[in-house]
Amino acid sequence: MPPAHDPILLSCGSLIIDDIHWEDGSRQTDVLGGAGVFAIYGARVWLAPPQSQQIGYTVQRGFDFVPDIQHELDRLDITLHNQDHPDLHTPRGLNTFSADDHRDFEYIHPVIRIFPRDFPPKWLLSAQIVHLICSAARAHDIVEEWHTLQAKYADQFNVSSQDIPDTMFMWEPLPWDCLPEKWGEFQETMKMVDIVSPNHEEAAAVLGTSMDKLESELGNASAALAYLAEQFVQAGVGQREQGCVAIRAGKRGAVVRRKDTPSWCVPAYWQAPPDLHRIKDVTGAGNAFCGGFCYGYLQNKDIIEAALYGSVSAGFTVEQVGVPRLDASEEIWNDGPPAASRLKELQRRIAIDIPASESIWRSTQCGDDL
């Protein structure tokens, strides 16, 4: 592995300082958030210092950046690159929650996007996987810019192509971009990434349908999710169609699929209704899932094991408002068991045995009774 100061896992997702309005009228302000931040936390729960420095993130800071937010990021002991924008506000959003976990979001101050050119050059020579959350068009542009700059920096630093990782990309589409008329554009972009991860509503929407309609037609949520995964992998993910889809389905868990394998369902770490009291806020859980998935995927490219990592990361995220809490002195998250223990518990729950040489899995239902 590269030395700790050369990150292997990055996110091009944003940092947003959130204000939250709850259904009961209560409010919270200056909450650290943003898709990129939640993804980074989703990976960070698996890596204690100094290995945590293998996670890299560019912080886009406006003139009104909150010092406590910087302190919170510094405590992660990851590799940070701060970019200051004295003429711009720090990105800020308003989250308004209503019944059934429905969330409305609006920007108070717009995001400051992260592009490959915003990372230090050597990061492009060390990164093994990059998390994206953006439109299909922007994902296409990011991947193209990445490869162009990677070749430029390799020449600049006299690094052989054999010493540069074949960087993988995990792409989360944006809800507003998941329209049937964008499906052709989606298919083009999916061929440029290694993992595509919409949620169940987004996956259905871009295919011109809905989960309710599919469940009615196919009989249950598991069949509906398997159908969605099938459509994505048959359209082609990855340059040689060897990539995968990971459809996130909230309390139902996630379904993962490659073109040459069947769909597999992985449950959410916290199950409703028995664990409902543990679920405080679902904001960022999908992003954290992707961060955990990225780290898990780097271990052996097993998509089901990676989804288990993602499920654990999402489980940490829903336990409080904002990002998971870290006791840095003892590397304890949310005053509870560590990620590795949660992973073992989740494996036991679904009766999975993972020998050192191979993975043996059984299919599970995706929460049809929830």
Q: What pLDDT score was predicted for residue 105?
A: 86
Phi (first) and psi of residue 58, to 5 degrees: -95, 125
Question: Does position 356 have pLDDT exceeding 70, yes or no?
Answer: no
| Other beta carbons less than 10 A from residue 267's beta carbon | 22
> Which of 39-43, 99-103, 304-308, 344-348 has the weakest average pLDDT?
99-103
H or E element at residue 349: helix 339-349
Mean pLDDT of 235-250: 96
State the pLDDT confidence band at 253, using cuts at 50, 70 and 90. Answer: very high
Question: Does position 354 have pLDDT exceeding 90, yes or no?
Answer: no
> Which of 22-26, 145-149, 272-276, 351-355 has the weakest average pLDDT?
351-355
Spatial distance between the Cα atoms of 96 and 112, rounded to a whole number of angstroms: 22
3-state helix, strand and coil shares in percent for the chain, rounded to the nearest 5: 40, 20, 40
Rounded to the nearest integer, the mean pLDDT of the chain is: 92
Distance of CA 203 to the CA centre of its chain: 16
Q: What pLDDT score was predicted for residue 358?
A: 37
Q: Are 105 and 93 in contact (CB under 8 A)?
A: yes
Q: What pLDDT score was predicted for residue 201?
A: 97
Q: What's the pTM?
A: 0.92
State the pLDDT confidence band at 5, using cuts at 50, 70 and 90. Answer: low
State the pLDDT confidence band at 367, using cuts at 50, 70 and 90. Answer: low
More confident position, 167 or 361: 167
Q: What pLDDT score was predicted for residue 363?
A: 47
Q: What pLDDT score was predicted for residue 324?
A: 97
> Which of 220-229, 234-243, 271-280 has the weakest average pLDDT?
271-280
Domain boundaries, the chain: 9-349
The CATH class, in words, for 9-349 is alpha beta
Q: What pLDDT score was predicted for residue 84?
A: 98
State the pLDDT confidence band at 2, using cuts at 50, 70 and 90. Answer: very low
Q: Pull the structure tokens for residue 186.
A: 């989606």
> At which residue do the structure tokens 């899995």 appear?
361
Q: What pLDDT score was predicted for residue 362?
A: 41
Spatial distance between the Cα atoms of 62 and 157, rounded to a whole number of angstroms: 31
Question: Does position 72 have pLDDT exceeding 90, yes or no?
Answer: yes
